[in-house]
Structure 1
């Protein structure tokens, strides 16, 4: 079982995504795949067109209640359906979902982050998701979640992918617009573990969104006792590319 998280400008890379979906189509009968996607950059672009401000807090978007219709529309609507269209072209059987349909539980986080949600234990998935995977469908999951009151929440897509990987005991790959985690000379790092990650954080090399991604990757690697990969779109066809996060 594979969980692939798509994010960053990779969502604006049709050629790279086509190659990725082609590889998934070749492997889907052998091992099911689930895709989790963000769309923060696409939301930022939309806000820029509408002259709306983007506010971040420790690398996470502050999702204001009055902006949620736009955020949800971009993530669960436009970006999700663009990915469905690309998957259909490769003869896959995609199904667009939010985190609610997967069974992953979500609750509102810090007040400073507005309508931002977090995944909470126990990490479990729904019968619906398991049935879709058994029937060789390709779930494409936006990072929109709902709490127990039905309130929609914007969940960090890295965290959502990590939660689903834990629930499914799946191999997790973060696919982004960077080829790997980079050192202070902007060179790819082949492997990282908890000690080397801490050194990068202390030196200021690892920060912002990439720090959050690496921390989620390490958490899953330790939880499942298996490696997690952070890479660019070519990772499924170039198996030695990217950065491996070791337990």
Structure 2
């Protein structure tokens, strides 16, 4: 089997049925090239329901603070609503999709980030379930809901979750975003960033908020796997196809 490709979905693509259909049309084509695993977030959907139910929502450095009392809502949105919608639309595109959480098959273990509430710090753990599904030509779709050793559900940043899954499977990783990749201070695409260059881009404010989390996740995955990691826009079918073939597109984070 060829090297798997982990693709993280998030942002506006999860908020629009037409956007989701367009992306899954591309993903169905990529699935003909190599085994795929999808990892998704859904922060905007979570935030909308929290506000509707009278909860406050707070982020620090692009990472959500999740009080334990909010976990039933967060898990319901991510592991329930968003995941089931993704599976259903993927199956419309003849993809043999299976919806999972990070905890399924002990795939990814989590420690609690006590500074952020019921938030998990993910680490690769057991590849057997995901590898079995890939061997049988299934498409695993993982929500970014994990669990700690005591069985408490945890909210996990989807970029960091995707990085952990990529490490678990020794896979390539694409972090999809709403822009073509990581941009410089003039709004121009940065085509390549080494792991040694990343701290300077963070320190001078070039990379911040949600993109800061993506860059940190990419650096983590690149360092652990010794592979370059891509950050790219979900709208560009040609770019995604090039990335699936190992060619340049978006921003490459190099180890």
TM interval, shorter chain, is: over 0.9
TM-score normalised by the chain length of structure 2: 0.89
Q: Deviations over 1:111-155 (max 9, x none)?
A: 2211001113xx233422221111111111001011111110111
Give SS of 2:108's match: coil
Q: Mark the runs of 5 or more structure 2 residues left unpaired by the alignment.
A: 243-247
- Divergent runs of 4+, >4 A: none
> Aligned pairs, how many?
244
Q: 1:72 Cα shift?
A: 0.5
Gaps of 5+ in 1: none
**Cα gap change, 1:28 to 1:36, in 2 (>3 Å):** same
The normalised TM-score by structure 1 is 0.92
In the alignment, which residue of structure 1 is the partner of 2:143?
Answer: 142
Q: Distance in 2 between matches of 1:139 and 1:191?
A: 29
Specify whether residues 177 and 13 from structure 1 end up closer, same or farther in structure 2 by C-alpha distance, changes over 3 A only.
Answer: farther
Deviation at 1:243, TM superposition (A): 0.9
Contact 2:61 2:208 in 1 (8 A): no
Q: Deviations over 1:187-208 (max 9, x none)?
A: 2211111343222112112112
The corresponding residue for 1:4 is 7
Aligned with residue 251 of structure 2, among 239, 243, 247: 243
> What residue in structure 1 maps to residue 78 of structure 2?
75
Question: Is 1:36–1:161's contact at 8 Å kept on the other side of the alignment?
Answer: yes
1:47-196 alignment, distance < 5 Å: 47-102=50-105, 103-109=107-113, 111-120=114-123, 123-196=124-197
Which moves more between the two structures, 99-108 or 236-245?
A: 236-245
Residue aligned with 2:190, SS: coil
Cα pair distance change 1:27/1:7, threshold 3 Å: closer
Mapped partners of 2:36, 2:104: distance in 1: 16
- Are 1:19 and 2:22 counterparts? yes
Contact 2:180 2:250 in 1 (8 A): yes
SS at match of 2:140: strand
